[in-house]
Structure 1
């Protein structure tokens, strides 16, 4: 129903939504109101063109601009996208693209903020699945940049290493390349 409403580009009634997936109006209303509760749809009452004005004005639904992505395990290319964009915008003349991207990755990491949960909370929110081990090491059990890292491990791991190295600047930790199958290529160790 959600995709039907997005494609319609006009307000959709409960009856239309129900018919689009072949369920009852009551069941459609239940699911539509759940989509409103989570912010994916907006509902209001509005007369529709070409309808008679008998009874209550129908409740209609339209999509919001809320974006939702689901990936298990978590994958997020936002950091790599930011690195790429800033590299293109700030690359110095004569600077090699890879070198510029590594420089920018470190700078973006240094600007990272860790308000809740410190560095580990930050890493968790970005999909790294950090796990503290003996001796203060932090293993990153998930690579949020997979499958891009699988496609170009030397480049993506180098950017990730620079980014995480920037993140831990001044924290008493250091980022080290330590690739393991099925995990992030970087681990954090006490400096």
Structure 2
């Protein structure tokens, strides 16, 4: 659930949001999402005073960008032979699309925190202990086979890594707002996440350590002597 290629996801989300910059397409999107049920091409065209071909083109583009889902339903009220072909209809996509600059990963943090709270309630284990373990397990998964190099993986997940005096400093915190308000909890989670990444990659040349500094992630990857 966490291991989709972040760059591919971000690029797709940027493309989807850019598609809404076209005024007619945006009007169609707004119309569809306001309706209680799926909307057909003829209905959308009539509601907005568009040619059917124009409405169909833009609705399909919105579906291609995963902004709308396509469903097929018979609207004649009949079934079986003679009932006619199902109509192509559009409704709001179930996919969530978000773009943030700098890169943020609040959903990832939220899921880890929610998992920790639920497991703690079920087992009685301290929440912080569960959170650290869960974060490290996720980091290990992210650093598993096919994940690429350490530097590439850090870039994919928005850490903005750069080399500095033998260490790797992280110019961006993907959990920035949360870390500002709940520093100890979120930075501890982040530390164990990155320890897991190093372990998953089999990267023994660096160790993740807390090193808070203004304008940077709280974690720094320092060379192992």
Q: Output the TM-score relative to the length of structure 1.
A: 0.74
Residue number in structure 2 paired with 1:123: 154
Range 39-48 or range 3-12, more displaced: 39-48
Instruction: Quote the RMSD (CA, aligned, Å).
Output: 3.1
Q: Give the structure with the higher percent helix.
A: 2
1:74 CA displacement = 1.5
Q: Output the TM-score relative to the length of structure 2.
A: 0.65
Once residues 198 and 106 of structure 2 are traced to their aligned partners in structure 1, the CA distance between those partners, rounded to angstroms, is 20
**CA 17–147 in structure 1, closer or farther in 2 if over 3 Å, else same:** farther
Once residues 176 and 44 of structure 1 are traced to their aligned partners in structure 2, the CA distance between those partners, rounded to angstroms, is 50
Q: Is the contact between residue 69 and residue 94 of structure 2 (CA under 8 Å) also seen in structure 1? A: no
**CA 70–19 in structure 1, closer or farther in 2 if over 3 Å, else same:** farther
Instruction: Write out aligned runs for 1:108-119 (5 A).
Output: 108-114=138-144, 115-119=146-150
Structure 2: gaps of 5 or more residues: 1-27, 78-85
- Render the CA deviation track for 1:4-50: whole Å, top value 9, x for unaligned: 31331323244654676x67446644432321222222457867569
- Render the CA deviation track for 1:63-84: whole Å, top value 9, x for unaligned: 3322222111121123323322
Residue number in structure 2 paired with 1:183: 216
Aligned length: 183
Once residues 187 and 162 of structure 2 are traced to their aligned partners in structure 1, the CA distance between those partners, rounded to angstroms, is 19
Match of 2:113 among 84, 92, 109: 84
1:143 CA displacement = 1.0
Structure 1: gaps of 5 or more residues: 51-56
